[in-house]
Amino acid sequence: MGVKWVCVFLVAGLILSIADLGNCGRTSSYVRNDDLAHDMSLDSDVFRVPPGYNAPQQVHITQGDHEGRGVIVSWVTPDKPGSSTVLYWAENSSSKNIAEGIVLTYKYFNYTSGFIHHCTISDLEFDTKYYYEVGTGNTTRQFWFVTPPKVGPDVPYVFGLIAGDLGQTRDSNRTLTHYELNPTKGQTVLFVGDLSYADAYPFHDNRRWDTWGRFTERNAAYQPWIWTAGNHEIDFAPQIGEFRPFKPYTHRYHVPYRASGSTSPFWYSIKRASTYIIVMASYSAFGKYTPQYKWLEKELPRVNRTETPWLIVVVHCPLYNSYAHHYMEGETMRVIYEKWFVEFKVDVVFAGHVHAYERSERVSNIAYNVVNGLCTPISDQSAPVYITIGDGGNLEGLVTEYALFC
């Protein structure tokens, strides 16, 4: 098939290169500091508000369709709604195009959000650099992105995996910088969930969602981040009258879930280059007959491996985890879905949540039926490799203790 892939592993970041062997990456020795870290202060320069009246901030992009010809551009204006228009043009084109978006706000306890804009740009050319501009009518800001090549089996592509659970400490900043400086340049980030850790603050201080958006803009405005919801996105706080789970996350981070027939932004799929990526939801119902279950039941047989030979699942809570922290939390999902991952030969399952790194061999544990005693994972070449990349630098620190096995 002429396609190879290589992973560059490190505790806090990883590059997955789906490319010819000649383009392979190198293993990095970077390991984050294992001290408990504090969040960067609100006046830190990485959180700087861009100058100018009503200047767009927290700009970020993600894939906007199933094939890679669409981009969702999101940003926040602080003073008034302003325009939800995105002006965009191909690098070598003299004609400019306009796409109209929407604007949202939300309240969370005593916090009122800025004006959150989402605009989907469609029908872009593959493998093309585009410039885009937001803030029409007031302070405008310009960014750029490169669309992926047309989907196909022999298309090289480099995914970046900044470890999940990123947060906003100095270690988080080092992780992002390390990713940016990696000589094997990632083209799209697969983000495994737990973004801002705003819920670590009294009343889930949503200003920390804003600082996180400004912190990550320097990368997320220029390459798509493929979002996965983690437990720190739930923001369920009935004690302060916040009963709607995922309220800040769903207002701020839009994903193209409808394009894959999903009915929820928490589970969806995209194709990108030679890869089919399925995002699953650890914190939405996933038992038999639930919407997520029924969607995945139809989704997996639909993956055409001659078109996209690489099949990757991204989910927040790992299905296999040897660390004491969060031990067995992914077991219910494993019991339900592992047999499908084996049947459909998923290549890799990436997860976060556990603040550590771990990579399995290809194993499965699907033969057990309560009475046959076959409850130990076995080597299985049809099974995925399970990779935990769960520490991007958040304030909770690294996990090093393994679970005790008897």
Q: Which is nearer to Fe ion, 149 or 390 (CB)?
A: 390
Residue nearest to Fe ion (CB): 353
Q: Which is nearer to Fe ion, 12 or 221 (CB)?
A: 12
Q: At what angle are helices 291-302 and 331-343 packed, to 10 degrees?
A: 20
Q: How far is the CB of 235 from Fe ion (least distance, A)?
A: 13
Quickly count: other Cβ atoms within 10 Å of residue 270's Cβ: 27
Q: How far is the CB of 299 from Fe ion (least distance, A)?
A: 24
Stretch in the footprint of Fe ion (CB under 5 A) among 103-111, 130-138, 182-190, 345-353: 345-353
Q: How far is the CB of 347 from Fe ion (least distance, A)?
A: 23
Q: How far is the CB of 169 from Fe ion (least distance, A)?
A: 15
For Fe ion (CB under 5 A), the number of binding residues is 4
- Are the beta carbons of 390 and 164 closer than 8 angstroms? yes
Q: Which is nearer to Fe ion, 135 or 390 (CB)?
A: 390
**Residue 326 annotated in active site:** yes
**Which is catalytic among the residues 118, 326, 353, 355?**
326
Q: How far is the CB of 279 from Fe ion (least distance, A)?
A: 15
For Fe ion, the binding residues in 216-275 under the rule CB under 5 A are 230-231
For Fe ion, the binding residues in 159-198 under the rule CB under 5 A are 194
Q: Which is nearer to Fe ion, 233 or 299 (CB)?
A: 233
Stretch in the footprint of Fe ion (CB under 5 A) among 78-86, 106-114, 171-179, 349-357: 349-357
353 part of the interface to Fe ion, by CB under 5 A: yes
Q: Which is nearer to Fe ion, 133 or 199 (CB)?
A: 199
Site of interaction with Fe ion (CB under 5 A): 194, 230-231, 353
Active site residues: 326
